[in-house]
Copies of this chain bind each other. A is one copy, B any other.
């Protein structure tokens, strides 16, 4: 009963009409061969593939789940065949290094592909997402020989990668890990320890699995500064890159979860498994953060993708469902009742979901473009600025996109009435699948702490200042006086001012009391997300007006709808930034007042 078509038109509008991707790509040698037509073709094929191969497996995969027989993990029916399609088509190496078999596409495109994957089948998407992150990490930190042995396999989907961080007693606080790495005589290491919540730790999609494992060397300093990173394949890989004997990596079981049931979440035991050190000793956490940051943005797309399929499916339902009459009198007098979309409150819910989705798509594309600039842009200053933006906005993208994604799936479910609670309609699975995105890859609370700690207080607000300067420069860039754009202009300006005030206030307080940053973190992240969305909607509205006045790839009605949905964001969603600003003012004292044993 789920309904999904890749939002190709909106993706193209965002990519080309809002963010001028073609011009952007032309300016960077690594992407100079790309153009709008090629991008369209890739996105279209991606959309076709996820709809044909993954969507039909989403509900059945949820019902069946992964199975564990004490040693092997079996993915649900159809997953192996679907994965083979993706691997053969080169979709596992979409953003990978072309010299080693990757497709070399920029993040702006791979992120849109991520959105489609998560929308059509979040469980399936995770196998690819972890692999992408692992490949990215190896690309940056592994030596040439290791890159050559592993990356072509990962890009080709012959093997899949994982990240192994969490242990039963530590998730957020990785300094506490107990997994040990003991040097072998041949320069390799014997890895011993147990990891939990390992996505794709064991499965039947590929015959080798490449684990990136955090462990401590014998001479490790205590805490987070003593963590090293190791590559530990399920089957040992020889110098020629051939997989051979088993490597002491054993799956101990699967978690039973609220959702993403077709994603194998494994307990993994490493029993003197042979691993190789990646990067420098004791520097593993920094390397892992490369992967985690990549995953964080990817997980943001889980929120967006699920919000999108939830919207499309709910609208599909709402068109058919007849209940009661429109407030002003029958809209469909020939039918026993009107379709529920005539009711203002039903429209409110639908527009909320849609505005979050379209705003999220704009924001994700913005961050993706900055990532591409940071990686590929010839100008060093542009790269440096883009890196700051990425650092600042990654926690926002992860947390705000997944908070809003979950909210969107819940609100879309509400649109169904009782059917939304029944499994057969699919809406409840979107809610369950979306819920994890607020938790894993660092809970959204941890993202907020990262934002206010590392990305704000540590640089005394310099990144935010530059973000605001850029926002304001963009507001000067044409159209603000147009009556159709004035509300968007005013809203973005007010949002910037509000964020600036909150930033100053927070910096001042954090200097006085270390608890203040944590106390403000959640509301500050929400405020940042809303403010950036206000900016994004200004961009979208400006592009829509340009499309109306000068023509564009979309139809007139599409541009008008864009303004309507954007206005809904201004009217009905952005006002909560005032509440967050107010809540932020409350400070830490109230939170710390209750004794620990009084909770």
Contacts and interface: CB of A to CB of B under 8 A. Distances in A.
B258 A348 contact: no
A288 to B, nearest CB: 17
A337 B515 CA distance: 17
B418 A166 contact: yes
A414 interface: yes
A588 interface: yes
Contact of A347 (B348, B432, B444, B591): B591
A153 interface: no
B583 A258 contact: no
A330 interface: no
Given A431-B258, A519-B344, A522-B345, A439 B414 contact: yes
A20 interface: no
A454 interface: no
A591 B439 CA distance: 33
B345 A449 contact: yes
A553 interface: no
A322 B169 contact: yes
Contacts of A428: 257-258, 435
Interface string A565-598: 1011001100111110011001010111111101
Contacts of A579: 575-579
A518 interface: yes
A583 B572 CA distance: 5
Contacts of A557: 595, 598
A163 to B, nearest CB: 14
Q: Which of A197, A319, A515 is packed against the most chain B CB atoms within 10 Å?
A: A515
Given A414-B444, A557-B598, A591-B351, A345 B518 contact: yes
Interface residues of A, number: 95
The prevalent SS among residues of A at the interface is: helix
A596 B340 CA distance: 10
A559 to B, nearest CB: 12
A323 B172 contact: yes
Interface string A313-353: 00100110011100110000000110101111111111100
A414 B347 CA distance: 30
A327 B449 CA distance: 11
B418 A522 contact: no
A515 to B, nearest CB: 5
Contacts of A596: 319, 339, 341-342
B445 A599 contact: no
A348 B522 CA distance: 9
A176 B340 CA distance: 14
A461 interface: no
Given A176-B337, A258-B428, 18 more contacts: A176-B323, A257-B422, A259-B421, A339-B596, A344-B521, A344-B588, A344-B592, A345-B448, A406-B410, A414-B438, A420-B439, A421-B436, A567-B590, A572-B586, A575-B579, A575-B583, A578-B578, A579-B579
20 contacts: A170-B323, A171-B323, A176-B323, A176-B337, A257-B423, A258-B422, A318-B599, A327-B514, A328-B514, A344-B516, A344-B518, A344-B592, A347-B594, A565-B594, A567-B593, A568-B590, A571-B586, A575-B582, A578-B578, A578-B582
